[in-house]
Amino acid sequence: MSEHRLRIDPAGTPRATVLIVPPLFEEANRTRRTLVLAMRALSAERFAAVLPDLPGQNESLVPLVEVNLDRWQDALAEVVSEIDGPTIIASFRGGALIDHKAQAAAWWRLAPVGGASLLRTLMRARVSADREAGVTSSLEGLQDEAKTAPQLLAGNRLSPAMIAQLGASEAQAVEPLRSVGLGANGIAGTPLWLRAEPGEDAAMAGAIAADISAWSKTCGIS
Amino acid sequence: MGSGIEGICPFRVEERKLTDSSSVDATLRAMLADVLGLGEDRAAALTEDSGLFGELPEFDSMAVATVLTEMEDRLGILIDDDEIDGEIFETYGNLLAFSLRKVTD
């Protein structure tokens, strides 16, 4: 895919490449800064780190309404196929819904979320914005309309196919996988992807990089 | 699988017993701190009369949507469209009362 990729290389030969699959939609903006800090921390641990733009997201020229989860899965598979050496896929939140088609040496997921939950929030934002504008809409009505026509949900124009796929999408089984959450047994930090105002957390970025690095060693990547 | 749109209703209301008011209160404060970036101190300082929607600049329509989905996840409840009116988000006290009603339903 001819999309931008942010790539941070370590000094010397990388142990492996970590492909960052960001959260989807607005959650990607809220976490981008911290994800890039994690990439810098990974490069200090001798990993190359790549953060690709998904078609229709970030700087992509593709209209969002033309993409769906299948296309994102294919785009990521293509990115990984062009990487030399072993690849570890690190996906965040909704990124875990699109990371399984790519061929990787190992997967790492932080706080994976079901597509239905993401879609519910997007639709609610629309209903809530409609209400502020004095328009009456409902989740049920939107779901009906979404079967046949694209819908503008929280600034994202999504096709019927995308909406249907999101509603049914769950993270798929991959092997080997480490799936972690936030908190004492996972990554210390706060759910920046929920924040109304984007924040950043360097300590959390460091914890993400350290966890991925430790996991890669147990997968035989040294 | 169907069209998948049916899947919007999350069928994962876990059997979590989160019905006592202090744990619901703590869960709500932590959730608002996460969504609105309030920090622990501001979240702890919220009173029943603290204004939310219309008062806190961070509390926009996207934040309302995020709060509702997080309330479902963290309190193990389901919130219908028609249960929501502007009053719920007017004050912290209203949001707490609504949540307590939902978890004991």
Extents of the domains making up chain A: 5-114+171-218, 115-168
- Mean pLDDT across A155-162: 97
One-letter amino acid of A169: S
Select from A137, A166, A194 the residue whose CB has the most chain B CBs within 10 Å, as the one to mutate to test that interface.
A194
Give the pLDDT of residue B16: 52
What confidence score (pLDDT) does residue B17 get? 54
Beta partners for residue A5, in sequence order = A52
Name which CATH class applies to A5-114+171-218: alpha beta
A55 preceded by a cis bond (ω within 30 of 0): no
Check pLDDT > 60 for residue A172.
Answer: yes
Q: Do B37 and A195 touch (CB under 8 A)?
A: yes
Place B5 in a pLDDT band, splitting at 50, 70 and 90. Answer: very low
Chain B residues with CB under 8 Å of A158 CB are: none
Residue B11 is predicted with a pLDDT of 42
A168 with B62: Cβ contact below 8 A: no
Q: Do A117 and B6 count as a contact with CB atoms less than 8 A apart?
A: no
Distance CA A105, CA A88 (A): 6
pLDDT confidence band for A47 (50 / 70 / 90): very high
Counting one residue from A and one from B, how many pairs have CB atoms under 8 Å apart?
94
Mean of pLDDT values over A145-159? 96
Q: Which of A26, A132, A197 sits opposite B37 (nearest CB)?
A: A197
Does B8 score more than 90 pLDDT? Answer: no
Q: What's the pLDDT tens digit per position in A50-59?
A: 999 999 999 9
For residue A143, pLDDT beyond 60: yes
pLDDT of amino acid B21: 86
- Kindly indicate the confidence band of residue B1, based on its pLDDT and cuts at 50, 70 and 90: very low
Which residues neighbour B70 within 8 Å (Cβ) at sequence distance 6 or greater? A194, B31, B34, B35
Query: Is some CB atom of chain B closer than 8 A to the CB atom of A139?
Result: yes
How much is the pLDDT for B67?
A: 95
- Tokens 């598979």, residue located: A77
**Mean pLDDT confidence for B27-32:** 95
The three-class DSSP label of residue A32 is helix
Q: Testing the interface with A: which of B11, B29, B69 to mutate, by most A Cβ within 10 A?
A: B69
Q: A145 to chain B: nearest residue by CA?
A: B5
Indicate if the pLDDT at residue B31 is higher than 50: yes
pLDDT confidence of residue B18? 63
Kindly determine whether residue B64 and residue A191, on different chains, have CB atoms separated by under 8 Å. no
Report chain B residues whose CB lies below 8 A from the CB of A120: 8-10, 69
CB contact under 8 A, B61 and A116: no
pLDDT digits (tens, 9 = 90+) for A80-124: 999 999 999 999 999 999 999 999 999 999 999 999 999 999 999
User: Which CATH superfamily is B17-104 part of?
Assistant: ACP-like (1.10.1200.10)
Percent with pLDDT over 70 in chain A:
100
- Checking if the pLDDT of A128 tops 90, the result is no
Task: Please tell me the predicted confidence (pLDDT) of residue A5.
Answer: 96
Confidence class for position A40, pLDDT limits 50, 70, 90: very high
Inform me whether the C-beta atom of residue A138 falls under 8 Å from chain B C-beta atoms: yes
**B chain contacts of residue A168, beta-carbon cutoff 8 Å:** 1-2, 4, 7
Q: What is the pLDDT of residue B3?
A: 41
Please check the confidence at residue A177 and state whether its pLDDT lies above 80: yes
Query: How does pLDDT run across A5-36, given as a tens digit for each residue?
Result: 999 999 999 999 999 999 999 999 999 999 99
Q: Determine whether the interchain pair A128/B81 forms a contact, defined as Cβ–Cβ distance below 8 Å.
A: no
Nearest CA to A91 among A82, A100, A78? A100
With a cut of 50, say whether residue A153 has pLDDT above it: yes
Higher pLDDT, A199 or B13: A199
Among the listed residues A81, A76, A14, A73, the one whose alpha carbon sits nearest the alpha carbon of residue A43: A14
Sort B93 into a burial class: Cβ within 10 Å, 0-12 / 13-18 / 19+.
middle
Task: Note the pTM of the prediction, 2 decimals.
Answer: 0.91
Read off the pLDDT of each residue in A47-71 and give the average, rounded to a whole number: 97
Average pLDDT over residues B8-31: 71
